[in-house]
DNA sequence: AAGGATCACGAAATCGTTTTCGGAGCTAAA
DNA sequence: TTTAGCTCCGAAAACGATTTCGTGATCCTT
């Protein structure tokens, strides 16, 4: 049973003044006497008054809430992004409504509509792997609510800011490093769908091979529908079984790389002596496996922070009716070489 | 610049009917003619009408939002809890406002106040390690807003439901298993603060030793202020340096255990031959390290689901003015033995 | 033809805050 | 003494959706 929450008029009645005065006293307006302010604040504390932000938001047309749509929460990279988002948001007095699309386009649309109904002040979004239409995001932009995409986005979306990482270069560097240490048959464990991040990593792989005049063997490119250790393990088995074998591997994500490492070991293949492996994301656990996994760093925390900073800037500009210039920030990656491959 | 969002009165005006009728038509009330309903729905779709849930919530005194306070987002266990929460909430038509206390008591209080101001319909919370007073939660209960604690809670908090893990038994089983495979000097890497979960794991460790007449050596119990690989690694070094050595280790969490494994290896100690190791949480990565880490399973996803189900049940009861009976659900743990210790 | 039931809708209050106008009372300047 | 300028506060109108009463039709019954 919901007991009554204290409201402004309760305070006003008790003190024999109007709600207007109470409201202004609590917000420290200049034209309220010090004496009144003090009385109001004292009573508000005593009665544990918590303003109803629904009413305030309705009146002010701003909620101080930002919506976040993310494909998957149980993912070390996205978790770090969320942390970055929440810290910057909190410091600016904003709260976060989090939605997980679960890599499901329909749910993504549904979440977007709900956040629009909630009148969030801005939206941060990362696309599901199979999202191809963007009307649910255009709805935000049309209503004047800033949207910033991070990580998984699409070049088709115009007129809005983005924070991405340089997947292409990261992948290129990784594969180049494998080539320079003598690998001739380099496999790639590829991500699912047409997500641009994964496509860019694939492109980096292909371009590196081409630049060094290595042939592209379709047998060496395996699309992994989900990112699990086991999927990486099975892919390694598949590669070992190839007539021409394999001597290097670049995986679209660390979990697959580690799984593959395990799969190779099961088949008696030495890492890095017989197969050199490089992953992508550089999350903490890569140092824990043996040999430690070389990986391309993917700065999730920084991505979350920057995306939120840009969003807050646009929210502010939007409020002041200034015009906003959208920007695309590309965060650099870095190849961190460890025991699973050789430094060159 | 915020362009105007369509509202009920816009639709009403266009159709030459009242907002009351529009509202009822959209909600499929029985006393609106089929013809009118259809016209309203058609226009709402055409104009992309999104109801302002602030206004609706203000009027209805329910937001369909549940608040979540969690110590840390970048944590595999909590990430799974969040996933469980969000799925159950979504299926019931609820949204989630997520707050991360960052293991900071003051921020926890601040978050609680903000969620109260947002008039969330219910709260799910897990305590920060150093939280000792609970007024900020009692505020919710006093106002009639259901609260359910999960994982990190306190027996001091009465009259509310909880979903916890049987940390004590899990720890006991782990240590018992080490004893049964012959370990005599078993170390424990302990969690920080007075968090009850960690205390219970410590208690399981101590009781197992006592039950098997093994002495408790304070040198073998190391409190780890943070959960990082490196902290585990350094703790292992510290243990190796003990005059009497160490032949078993139970860590309060997997990350520390894996770090310790690395630390032992660096000192030339064989796992599990010279030191057997068991962790806690059983997250996916334990299978990736070598040797695979034995660990106590900690069902985070299930915890999130159950906590949310209980909360929704209490919200419903509260709405119907039924009285609610609080419950404490204890989820079972299970020792999963892998290569880092022997099965007995 | 009168009474009652049913149908389809509208007027207006309501949720709790914020803010735009003021307006009363007082002081100081002319 | 009038006027202007302060200081401090209140009345009331928003914000947008929901819902409680109604009310005017229409149809059926007798």
Residue A2 lies in a domain: no
Tens-place pLDDT, residues B19-48: 999 999 999 999 899 999 999 999 999 999
Q: Scanning every residue of chain B, which has its alpha carbon at the shortest distance from the alpha carbon of A76?
A: B74
Tell me what pLDDT residue A1 has.
43
CB neighbourhood size of B191 (10 A)? 23
The CATH number of the domain where A173 resides is what? 3.40.50.2300
Phi, psi of A98 (to 5 degrees): -105, 130
Say whether both B220 and B294 belong to one domain: yes
* Residue B1 scores a pLDDT above 50: no
Same-domain check for residues A263 and A231: yes
| B196 and B283 housed in the same domain | yes
Greatest alpha-carbon pair distance for chain B in Å reads 90
Q: Is position B271 within any domain?
A: yes
**Does some domain include residue A250?**
yes
Closest nucleotide to the alpha carbon of B9, via C1': D16
Contact state of A100 with B86 under an 8 Å Cβ cutoff: yes
Render pLDDT for B275-317 as a digit per residue (tens, 0 to 9).
999 999 998 889 888 899 999 999 999 999 999 999 999 999 9
Residue A86 within any structural domain of the chain: yes
| B47 & B74 share domain | no
Helix (H) or strand (E) holding B127: none
Strand D closer than 7 Å to the CB of A20? yes
Q: How far is CA B324 from CA B147, B161, B305, in A?
A: 12, 10, 19
Per the structure, the complete domain to which residue B287 belongs is given by 167-298
* B343 — pLDDT class (breaks 50, 70, 90): confident
Tens of pLDDT, residue by residue over B74-122, are 999 999 999 999 999 999 999 999 999 999 999 999 999 999 999 999 9
What CATH number is given to the structural domain containing A39? 1.10.260.40
Contact criterion met (CB below 8 Å) for A96 and A85:
yes
Residues B291 and B304 in one domain: no
Asked if B225 and B279 sit in the same domain, the reply is yes
Residues A155 and A172 in one domain: no
Q: How many CA atoms lie within 13 A of B215 on its CB side?
A: 7
pLDDT at A307 over 50: yes
**Same domain? A83 vs A138:** yes
Report d(CA A9, CA A20) in Å as an integer.
Answer: 9
* pLDDT(B167) > 90: yes
* Residue B120 belongs to a domain: yes
Set of chain B residues whose Cβ sits within 8 Å of the Cβ of A58: 52, 54-55, 58
Per-residue model confidence (pLDDT) at position A240:
97
Taking residues A162-169, report their average pLDDT: 97
- Give the confidence band of A285 by pLDDT, cuts at 50, 70, 90: confident
DSSP state of B292: P
Percent over 90 (pLDDT), chain B: 91
Rounded Cα distance, A100 and A301, in Å? 18
Smallest CA-to-CA distance from A85 within A38, A130, A148 is with A148
A276-297 exposure pattern, b = at least 16 Cβ within 10 A, e = fewer: bbbbbbbbbbbbbbbebbbbbb
* A174 shares a domain with A284: yes
For chain A, give the percent of residues with pLDDT over 70: 99
> B188 and B171 in one domain?
yes
Q: Is the pLDDT of residue A39 over 90?
A: yes
**Mean pLDDT score of chain A, rounded to an integer?**
95
The confidence score (pLDDT) of residue A3 equals 64
What is the Cα–Cα distance from A83 to A300, expressed in whole angstroms?
Answer: 9
Domain-located, residue B342: no
Residue A310 has pLDDT above 80, yes or no: yes
- Cβ–Cβ of A58/B53 closer than 8 Å? no
Q: Are residues A277 and A319 in the same domain?
A: no
Give the pLDDT score at B148.
98
Chain A residue closest in CA terms to B287? A229
Does residue A344 carry a pLDDT above 80? no
Residues A173 and A292 both lie in one domain = yes
Residue A13 phi/psi, 5-degree rounding, is: -65, -45
Model pLDDT, residue B287: 87
Integer angstrom CA distances of residue B24 from B8, B12, B29: 11, 11, 5
Lowest mean pLDDT among A194-198, B39-43, B97-101, B257-261: A194-198
- Does residue A3 form part of some domain? no
User: Average pLDDT over chain B, rounded to whole?
Assistant: 95
What's the CA–C1' distance between B271 and C8, in Å? 80
Q: What is the pLDDT of residue A109?
A: 98
The answer to whether position B16 is within a domain reads yes
- Give residues lining strand C (CB < 7 Å): A 5, 7-9, 19-20, 23-24, 26-27, 31, 49, 51-52, 55-56, 58-60; B 16-21, 31-33, 35-36, 55, 58-59, 61
> How many folded domains does chain B comprise?
3
Nearest CB neighbour to B98, from listed A61, A98, A288 = A98
């Amino acid at each position: 049973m919901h007991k009554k929450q204290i409201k402004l008029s309760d305070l006003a009645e008790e003190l024999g003044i109007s709600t207007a005065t109470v409201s202004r006293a609590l917000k420290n307006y200049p034209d309220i006497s010090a004496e009144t302010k003090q009385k109001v604040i004292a009573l508000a504390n005593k009665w544990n008054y918590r303003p109803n932000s629904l009413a305030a938001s309705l009146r002010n047309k701003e909620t101080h809430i930002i919506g976040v749509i993310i494909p998957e929460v149980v993912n070390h990279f996205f978790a770090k992004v969320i942390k970055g988002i929440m810290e910057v948001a909190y410091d600016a007095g904003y709260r976060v409504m989090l939605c997980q699309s679960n890599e499901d386009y329909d749910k993504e649309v549904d979440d977007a509509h709900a956040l629009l109904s909630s009148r969030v002040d801005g939206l941060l979004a990362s696309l599901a792997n199979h999202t191809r239409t963007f009307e649910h995001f255009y709805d935000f932009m049309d209503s004047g609510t800033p949207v910033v995409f991070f990580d998984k986005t699409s070049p088709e979306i115009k007129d809005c800011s983005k924070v991405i990482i340089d997947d292409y270069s990261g992948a290129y560097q990784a594969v180049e490093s494998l080539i320079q240490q003598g690998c001739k048959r380099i496999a790639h464990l590829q991500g699912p769908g047409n997500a641009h991040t994964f496509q860019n990593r694939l492109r980096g792989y292909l371009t590196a091979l081409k630049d060094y005049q290595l042939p592209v063997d379709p047998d060496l490119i395996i699309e992994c529908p989900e990112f699990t250790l086991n999927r990486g393990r099975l892919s390694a088995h598949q590669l070992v079984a190839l007539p021409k074998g394999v001597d290097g591997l670049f995986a679209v994500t660390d979990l697959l790389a580690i799984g593959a490492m395990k799969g190779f070991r099961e088949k008696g293949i030495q890492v890095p002596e017989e197969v050199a492996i490089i992953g992508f994301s550089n999350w903490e656990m890569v140092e824990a496996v043996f040999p430690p996994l070389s990986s391309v760093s993917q700065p999730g925390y920084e991505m979350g922070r920057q995306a939120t900073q840009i969003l807050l800037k646009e929210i502010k500009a939007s409020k002041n009716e200034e015009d906003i210039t959208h920007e695309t920030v590309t965060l650099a990656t870095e190849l961190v070489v460890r025991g699973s491959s050789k430094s060159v």
